[in-house]
Chain A
């Protein structure tokens, strides 16, 4: 069977700035693909293009056998791609249950079904005790969890996670890793952005490295850790 997501030579320009300039990525079904790269490499922009939040300038995105580049954001979501935001985008005046219900309504138009689905999802991500808290009153870690729940409630085939582990305590990070494993266990494919390679190494099946908008590496975590181009992107040119 073919890969779930296949991005080929994506380009995205903001005026004269080339945020993406030859980004390619393949995500196999049921696997976790890690997307790493230095600050400003274009990782978030890549997610925005894949999810339909912005239109790429050029390039191809094939999801589940169909081309999706340039399709409206909400349409792409319905096809089964869900995302979280690096800078959290919560529904400030809605409770956790209400916000996740908005996600669940995508596949369950009846409110009672959607609320039940949302309640399950909230338990699943461990936000159960906060279900009646307003989005704006949550801690950052809980807001990130809420974003994961809202995305999961749409029952996606592909989940794009943008730095969900940033700023977590070691214990929280461990819980998050366990959660990721459970999500994978449900057959959901994950593409995940992280700054820090160490976080991804133990859980990623595959690593893609982005630098200055370009994919400079694609392979196993082990190979990534030993690739000179990757090291250079992270540490600067080798001293000779």
Chain B
């Protein structure tokens, strides 16, 4: 627990220093993306890593947050009100969908999440009050925390860093709580967990609601950052997949897994692809997809799991 807090502190200081030193907007953009993905991956990790119920529908929660912010802007409300309502909507959907769906396990559950998110996407594309398939473009406002619009990327990096720190703290608390133990037990063996009094559905539901809320928060930040929401780039299956894959690459059910996965995603896939001039041509997908295949086949415990094994081996040897 203490080591987790120390690493978190060091990470935050390092990222802050990095953001202050580099002036390059491309690198700041990548840093923001990496932090946001780390948040999304960790939120996903609560349900799909610790509790082992693999969701491929998190774009729906992401969309709740993004559309909450966009609607607030459209109707001239404070973005903070939009963020709050997005979070509430995501949590409500999580409750309504999670309750029946947690009767399912394995691929039955995963496909159900895809189906639910797909229904959401089709609905949004046909809903006038959300401006349908066109999406919503934000009206520009004077920069500041009140409007949650900024002229530079630096405040965004710090905002994302704060949310990242919050989510990591929550995860440290989770690992050292009854809920953390219960979720891991449910993942390992739901039947045996029930035999010692664990109500799997109730705990999974709590995890999903928290996860949906954090994902919605990240969705709001993303929308305020890009100042546009379109169903295709917010709600479609590839978004759900990239959220899940950040969690997998880093390592399921591990505190630093999503952060490492996000780092890999941002700097390996996006950066390398951009350097090779292939982004938008699918090269990032190739690199990332290939990486996931390798990890799934060779190191199913992900990068964080591998690092851990290395340390464990060193300790044994030394």
Contact = CB atoms under 8 A, between A and B. Distances in A.
A85 B193 CA distance: 12
Interface stretch (A19-27, A101-109, A188-196, A199-207): A101-109
B178 A151 contact: no
Nearest to A93: B188
A77 B177 CA distance: 21
Contact of A111 (B181, B185, B194): B181
Nearest to A98: B181
Interface in A43-102: 51, 53, 72-75, 77-78, 82-83, 85, 89-94, 98-99, 101-102
Interface stretch (B31-39, B195-203, B275-283, B288-296): B195-203
Contacts of B200: 74
Interface residues of B, number: 19
B177 A111 contact: yes
Given A91-B188, A106-B197, 19 more contacts: A51-B195, A72-B199, A73-B194, A74-B194, A74-B198, A74-B199, A77-B194, A91-B185, A94-B184, A94-B188, A99-B185, A103-B196, A105-B178, A105-B181, A105-B182, A110-B178, A111-B177, A114-B178, A154-B196
A138 to B, nearest CB: 14
A150 interface: yes
Contacts of A74: 193-194, 197-200
Contacts of A114: 178, 181
A153 interface: yes
Contact of B195 (A77, A92, A93, A110): A77
Nearest to A104: B196
Q: Which 7 A-B pairs have the closest CB atoms?
A: A91-B188, A106-B197, A89-B192, A73-B194, A77-B197, A103-B196, A102-B185
B302 to A, nearest CB: 13
A33 B194 CA distance: 24
A102 B195 contact: no
Interface of A: 51, 53, 72-75, 77-78, 82-83, 85, 89-94, 98-99, 101-103, 105-106, 109-111, 114, 135, 150-151, 153-154
A53 B191 contact: yes
Nearest to B185: A102
B88 to A, nearest CB: 28
A105 B195 CA distance: 12
B189 interface: yes
B199 A102 contact: no
Interface string B197-237: 11110000000000000000000000000000000000000
B126 interface: no
Contacts of A135: 188
B11 interface: no
B176 interface: yes
Contact of B196 (A82, A94, A109, A110): A82
A82 B195 contact: yes
18 contacts: A53-B191, A72-B194, A74-B197, A77-B194, A85-B195, A89-B191, A90-B189, A91-B185, A98-B184, A102-B181, A102-B182, A102-B198, A109-B178, A111-B177, A111-B181, A114-B181, A150-B192, A154-B197
